[in-house]
Amino acid sequence: MPRLMIRNVSVLVVPEQGECRVDDAQDVHVQDDLIVAITPTDPSDQADEVIDGTGLLAMPGLVNSHTHSPMVMMRGAAEDLAIEDWFNQRIWPMEVNLTPERVRVGARLACAEMLLGGVTMFVDHYFHADQIAAAAIESGIRADLAPTFFSSMEKGTEAALDATRALARLHPRITACLGPHATYTVNEDDLRRAAEVARDEGFRIHLHAAETDDQTQASLDKYGATPIQVLERTGVLDAGVLIAHGCGIRVTDLAILERYADRTAVASCPKVYLKLAMGEVTPIKGLQAAGVSVGVGTDGAAVHNTLDVWEAIRMVALTQKQRENDAEWMTISDTLRLATRGSAAAAGLTGKVGVLEVGHQADVALVDLSGPHNQPLHDPRAALVYSVRASDVVTVLVAGQIVVRDRRLTTMDLDEVVADARSLAHTLVDLSAGGAVQHYDP
């Protein structure tokens, strides 16, 4: 008898190509952390624990493929600013105030927000990543963590590489990447060092690159190479990389990326690109044509304001139709595929998460589409892209564990998590100490 069963649920099926579909009246059987069977519902099926899925839709838990989770502590504290001022006047001066405790408190809040919204995994890039790991482990969420470093940090590179090594051994739900911040804050020597460790020890690299076309032009002016060319010549592309944003990836870069497509992914977070008036969005059509995986993320809440991956998915569909001037592009099925298989690939976990199939991790979001904003339900797939809200998520499983039940966290006391964040929030935005962790001048 399996340990757990979701009974009589509609299951979102996302094939590798073609139309997504919804199979009604299914039983999803879970043993330990795995999906072991998905069968037409049968009242005689039994399990130790049964979740009634009647009227609900089961889909792969969402993956937030690029964020800085503890930045929820700065939510709403850096508004209406262009990217230079956002970094130099607000964010990097604020980050002088980071402490392990504040990072942990922020990460706990972030995990709570994400789990309650159906996010079962996040791909993070931040400081004090051991604290983020602790919050993730406590909350029950899955995480891939990249300890951030700048070349300007004394002994920062080696310390960050060690932090990645430590994280990788920590917990079955935690994976780790090497985390050079960006091509404009980490020099080529340090990028080469990261690429070497990545290749030798089997890590991926997660970093920001070609965030805007201005950055690409600045890189050409300073180094005679686009950020993508810098990643190639330092061995980062060869090692395997998750690139955040990539809005400044040029057509000529696509031919380079195509050569490393089997180990390259890009995370797109378009709400941020519009909010910071960055001028471009990720060139997803070209990247996908080059065979590069593309996922969807929120980026940090200091600019995205939420860690709502539904919102991010919708923005990908809308901004891609806009970018390509083609309403028939980035269809509902393609959007759902990007948000599930694409984000799983960006997280480095293809074959393990991102689809509801036998042998995959039981990372599941159960969604209630009966609310008036989703009804009548001509097409549940359309609802998932264009009308669902994070608050429609009812129950969430990660690795077979029920972490949200009937819209409540089972792993943490939400009131305490929020109260802790409120009590420390002022310490993060206090600029009286002066200084900054970095200066934006790509």
Identify which range of 128-136, 163-171, 215-223, 270-278 contacts its own copies by CB under 8 A: 270-278
Pairwise CA distance, residues 111 & 131, whole Å: 12
What size, in residues, is the chain? 442
Strand partners, 56: 368
- The residue from 224, 372, 432, 434 that contacts its own copies (CB under 8 A) is 372
Q: Provide the minimum distance between the beta carbon of 382 and its own copies in the complex, in angstroms, as a whole number.
A: 4
Contact at 8 Å (CB) between 132 and 107? Answer: yes
Residue type at position 433: A
Is 113 a binding residue for its own copies by CB under 8 A? The answer is yes
Pairwise CA distance, residues 318 & 274, whole Å: 12
- The residue from 200, 378, 406, 432 that contacts its own copies (CB under 8 A) is 378
- The residue from 249, 318, 347, 364 that contacts its own copies (CB under 8 A) is 318
Query: Which residue lies nearer to its own copies by CB, 199 or 321?
Result: 321
Pairwise CA distance, residues 289 & 306, whole Å: 30
Is 277 a binding residue for its own copies by CB under 8 A? The answer is yes
Q: What are the phi and psi torsion angles at 426 (to 5°)?
A: -65, -30
Pairwise CA distance, residues 92 & 209, whole Å: 18
Is 76 a binding residue for its own copies by CB under 8 A? The answer is yes
Q: What are the phi and psi torsion angles at 29 (to 5°)?
A: -100, 130
Q: What are the phi and psi torsion angles at 184 (to 5°)?
A: -100, 0
- Burial of 43 (C-beta count, 10 Å sphere; 0-12/13-18/19+): exposed
Interface characters, 380-419, with its own copies (x: CB under 8 A): --xx--xx-xxx----------------------x--xx-
Query: Which residue lies nearer to its own copies by CB, 214 or 258?
Result: 214
Is 274 a binding residue for its own copies by CB under 8 A? The answer is yes
Other CB atoms within a 10 A radius of the CB of residue 410 amount to 15
Is 27 a binding residue for its own copies by CB under 8 A? The answer is no
- Whole-angstrom CA distances from 302 to 144, 147, 179, 245 are 20, 18, 19, 16
Pairwise CA distance, residues 391 & 161, whole Å: 38
- The residue from 38, 116, 198, 228 that contacts its own copies (CB under 8 A) is 116
Q: What is the DSSP letter of 247?
A: T
Identify which range of 16-24, 151-159, 318-326, 398-406 contacts its own copies by CB under 8 A: 318-326
Contact at 8 Å (CB) between 119 and 141? Answer: yes
Instruction: Tell me the number of residues near its own copies by CB under 8 A.
Output: 64
Is 364 a binding residue for its own copies by CB under 8 A? The answer is no
Pairwise CA distance, residues 222 & 236, whole Å: 19
Is 112 a binding residue for its own copies by CB under 8 A? The answer is yes
Query: Which residue lies nearer to its own copies by CB, 252 or 423?
Result: 423
- The residue from 24, 101, 326, 413 that contacts its own copies (CB under 8 A) is 326
- The residue from 3, 192, 233, 321 that contacts its own copies (CB under 8 A) is 321
Q: Provide the minimum distance between the beta carbon of 70 and its own copies in the complex, in angstroms, as a whole number.
A: 12
- The residue from 48, 49, 52, 79 that contacts its own copies (CB under 8 A) is 79
Query: Which residues sit at the interface with its own copies, rule CB under 8 A?
Result: 72-77, 79-83, 86, 109, 112-113, 116-117, 271, 273-277, 279, 301, 305-308, 317-319, 321-322, 324-328, 331-332, 370, 372-379, 382-383, 386-387, 389-391, 414, 417-418, 421-422, 425, 429
